[in-house]
Amino acid sequence: MTQNCNALYAQAGGVTAVINSTAAGLIAAWRQQAPAGARLFGARDGIVGLLEERLVDLSALHEPELDMLGYSPSAALGTCRHVLQPEEHARLVAVLQRHRIGTVFYNGGGGAARACGDILAIAQAAGYPLNVVHVPKTIDNDIPDTDACPGFGSAAKYLATSLREASLDLAAMAGSSSKVFILETMGRYSGWLTAACGLAARHPGEGPHILLLPERPFDEERFLRRVRETVDRYGHCAVAASEGLTGANGELLHATGQRDAAGDRQLGGVAPWLAARVTARLGYKCHWSVADYLQRSARHLVSATDVAQARATGQAAVMIALAGERHFSPVIRRLADDPYRWDIVAAPLAVVTAPERRVPADFLTADGYQLSAAGRRYLAPLIVGEDYPPFRDGLPDYRIPAFTDISLSP
């Protein structure tokens, strides 16, 4: 058997509703196509689990377990946000060598893509032959060179659905109660999720009436004027705002004051901040909500398109790697809008570690407050179709497979 014929799969960063579909596709493809005797390990809690040698045997999973995995939310193996430190380099290479790992599949967003570059550099510096594959996922939809990121379509579907329902609630109560509702979405640097909320409005007067993205600096006077005009015209105003909303000077409007494990400022709280400004300046009763974990964990309302792309991305990662491609990311390429057609190609690792992809200016109307025809044309296919999990006693019947720790393997 070829030396270093084994592979390792790990999950990183914030979860998505379909990251386990990617895992299921990747594991199934490995079982079907890998050389005889080659094993696929999984690392618990991402790169941290690899460093600590907390590995499981993914090769041992059978079809019923893969089916369960594909329907599960969260990240079955656990994730992490971790930047490799110099003192960890030797340990990383030692674990790879001990388990004869020749390929690392790291499933995550921009942070995971950068970690892949770090892993590759560490292996090359040590003279260790390693193929590093970034398997994309993020609800932020900001990885360069892919039409869409697995996980985004489902989060977009959940947010647009929630805002359509909340807007109807708001309209029903506006005569004697709240007149403004603000939904805060994730999105540190890019406003893809907020833009997707615009899909909820199909006709004039339907919410959301205002979209606030990081790509457009926030102007309080202009915003309040638009809120007043909307309430005067329709009786109520629904707003979607990105957590990473910035002012004219590029500074975040609101942050928690804390930082995450990767050193980024933790965001959240822009919705109550905006609501306070609306009430103080306009006198309207205002409700707000922060979607937070709900938008990325809602497996009960995933996009069937997103599930298909997530699974196909995992499969392609294996197939392309086994065909000899090195240091790449399997990305989605759009072939047509209507009907939506796509395929998967390999993008060099260096491309997907580039700065975040942001929402194009022409995806919004000239005033920046609503989704344009071009934006709707891009976003609409990504939320199409349903892929419901099995239900039991009125609730989704989620079951994470019981992975076998390799220390217990024969």
The residues assigned a catalytic role are 140
In terms of C-beta density within 10 A (0-12 exposed, 13-18 middle, 19 or more buried), how is residue 299 classed? buried
- Residue 130 contacts residue 120 (beta carbons within 8 Å): yes
DSSP state of 178: -
DSSP state of 191: -
240: CB partners within 8 A, 6+ apart: 159, 163, 182, 183, 185, 194, 197, 198, 208, 210, 211, 212
- Residue 213 contacts residue 367 (beta carbons within 8 Å): no
The count of C-alpha atoms lying within 13 angstroms of the C-alpha of 80, restricted to the half-sphere facing its C-beta, is: 16
> Measured at the alpha carbon of residue 389, what is the angle toward residues 311 and 55, in degrees to the nearest 5?
55
Phi, psi of 317 (to 5 degrees): -55, -45
- Residue 300 contacts residue 194 (beta carbons within 8 Å): no
Count Cβ atoms below 10 Å from residue 311 Cβ, excluding itself: 22
For 259, the 3-state DSSP assignment is: strand
